[in-house]
């Protein structure tokens, strides 16, 4: 049984117009099957349905060429931004379904397991729940989500043998296994093909029974493998002519608020700074891309191939680090084993609801894994600047953007203050040096008539 194909074009030679394809990839290009996507571009196949977390650059070309009719993704664009896909959706030339990341992999896993559907707490009280069945188990509500089978899966691995057994490297497993299992035809492109038995059995991340075809990688992307170099935002913003906390100071404060020895998931943006202070608190860091026990962000990803966090930044592998797929990563979260999730946001309101995936003018958005993360019922911390780039308050009476989670924020850290949710409202516990709590509250959008309890020691 030899599953090795002579070329990417050979591997997709039977792929018809109208096919559904699950395409792996995390961040800008990690784990994206560029060779298979290039072959698909040359083939000229049309009327496609693409399934994935984001739309990798190779797939973006297909979207822009008008060869994709439907998208099932966690990101059509990053919140606050736009993309060619967003523009085509706005024009009605492409339809889409936005799916939380953990729900996406679980729907694909269910299809591969021969299950018709699943119930999940993810997405309750958000637009994702619109029109879906809600059922209660043990007094708790869950959404019905249907399984998501696909015709083909394009995934990338490190090594494979001719029987189709695949080895992944580092944190680059993420969507590969669930996408492959959901497909009638799973095609894997790899750096190296070896003979059966050369990959140690315990290092096989995807057994060959789930893989139809293997092909050697022929296209190496010129894009950065992980996230772009993080800009240093350690220059504080000023309010009333005075500096607030820098992002690093915010991260140091946030780390000090977390229980020693906690398992902590860090989201995109400002929360990623917290990894620099995790060691001092003995925090074990978790990423939904499939990594547990990483350390600080490093400037040169070549030191640690395929070791990156959920923001896409290369990180140090701490002693005891482990890697797994995204299904397992979200089992850790929804199962309540991750103690704290730390997320960025565009708005947090007086009752502790927050919004971080869609802003004004967007038709889609960037849900990512945030809804799954807050569905765990564990501690939720939000880190964000106190006011946005247009000098509008981000701490508001009620969120005007689509919700990520309702009444779930336990701790809020801005560059001016630290809040905690108590008795259904936000309480100020401390403020940045040089500011009074009255100044801080005046810079929020909380209704003065409603008021906000304050316990800050600062006057």
Round to whole Å and give the CA distance between 209 and 183: 12
Is residue 385 within 8 A of residue 269, CB to CB? The reply is: no
Distance, C-alpha 188 to centroid of its chain = 23
Where do runs of H (alpha helix) occur along 335-457? 370-374, 437-442
Which among 328, 320, 322, 340 is positioned nearest to 262, based on CA atoms? 340
343's CB contacts (< 8 A; 6+ apart) are: 267, 271, 354, 356, 370, 373, 374, 380, 381, 382, 383, 404
Inter-residue contact 314 to 304 (CB < 8 Å): yes
CB neighbours of 448 closer than 8 A, spacing ≥ 6? none
Report angle CA 17, 99, 215 to the nearest 5 degrees: 45
The set of catalytic residues is: 288
Q: Where do runs of H (alpha helix) occur along 227-275?
A: 247-256
Question: Distance between CA 381 and CA 287 in Å, rounded?
Answer: 15
Cβ proximity of 155 and 168 under 8 Å: no
Cα three-residue angle 275-280-284, rounded to 5 degrees: 55
206, β-bridge pairs: 166
CA distance 67 to 49: 9
The alpha-carbon radius of gyration of the chain (Å, integer) is: 22
Reference 275, options 241, 321, 330, 210; nearest CA is 321
Contacts of 432 (CB under 8 A, 6+ apart): 243, 244, 245, 415, 416, 417, 440
Q: Which residues contact 367 (CB under 8 A, 6 or more apart)?
A: 74, 75, 98, 99, 100, 101, 128, 357, 404
């Amino acid at each position: 049984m030899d599953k090795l194909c002579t070329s990417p074009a050979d591997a997709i030679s039977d792929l018809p117009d109208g096919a559904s394809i699950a395409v792996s990839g995390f961040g800008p290009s990690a784990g994206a099957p560029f060779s298979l996507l290039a072959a698909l571009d040359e083939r000229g196949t049309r009327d496609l349905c693409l399934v994935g977390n984001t739309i990798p650059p190779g797939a973006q070309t297909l979207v822009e060429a008008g060869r994709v009719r439907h998208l099932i993704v966690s990101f059509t664009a990053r919140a606050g931004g736009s993309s060619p896909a967003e523009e085509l959706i706005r024009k009605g030339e492409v339809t889409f379904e936005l799916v939380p990341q953990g729900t996406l992999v679980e729907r694909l896993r269910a299809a591969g397991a021969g299950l018709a559907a699943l119930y999940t707490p993810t997405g309750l009280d958000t637009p994702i729940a619109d029109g879906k069945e809600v059922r209660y188990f043990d007094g708790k509500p869950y959404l019905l989500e249907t399984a998501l089978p696909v015709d083909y899966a394009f995934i990338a691995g490190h090594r494979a043998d001719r029987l189709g057994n695949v080895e992944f490297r580092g944190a680059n497993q993420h969507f590969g296994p669930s996408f492959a299992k959901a497909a009638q035809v799973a095609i894997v492109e790899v750096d190296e093909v070896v003979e059966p038995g050369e990959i140690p059995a315990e290092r096989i991340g995807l057994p060959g029974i789930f893989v139809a075809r293997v092909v050697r990688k022929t296209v190496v992307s010129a894009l950065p493998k992980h996230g772009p170099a993080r800009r240093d935002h350690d220059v504080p913003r000023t309010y009333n002519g005075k500096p607030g906390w820098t992002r690093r100071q915010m991260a140091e404060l946030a780390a000090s608020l977390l229980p020693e020895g906690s398992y902590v998931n860090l989201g995109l943006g400002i929360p990623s700074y917290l990894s620099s202070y995790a060691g001092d608190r003995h925090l074990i860091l978790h990423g939904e891309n499939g990594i547990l026990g990483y350390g600080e962000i490093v400037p040169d990803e070549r030191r640690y191939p395929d070791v990156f966090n959920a923001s896409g930044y290369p990180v140090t592998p701490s002693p005891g680090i482990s890697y797994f797929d995204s299904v397992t990563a979200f089992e850790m979260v929804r199962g309540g084993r991750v103690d704290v999730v730390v997320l960025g946001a565009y708005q947090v309101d007086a009752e502790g609801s927050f919004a971080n995936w869609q802003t004004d003018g967007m038709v889609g958005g960037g849900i990512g894994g945030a809804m799954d993360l807050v569905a765990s019922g564990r501690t939720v911390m939000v880190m964000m600047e106190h006011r946005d780039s247009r000098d509008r308050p981000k701490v508001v009476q009620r969120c005007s953007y689509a919700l990520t989670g309702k009444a779930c924020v336990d701790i809020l850290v801005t560059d001016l203050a630290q809040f905690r949710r108590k008795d259904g409202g936000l309480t100020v516990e401390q403020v940045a040096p040089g500011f009074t709590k009255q100044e801080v509250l005046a810079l929020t959008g909380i209704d003065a008539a409603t008021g906000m309890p304050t316990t800050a020691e600062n006057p």
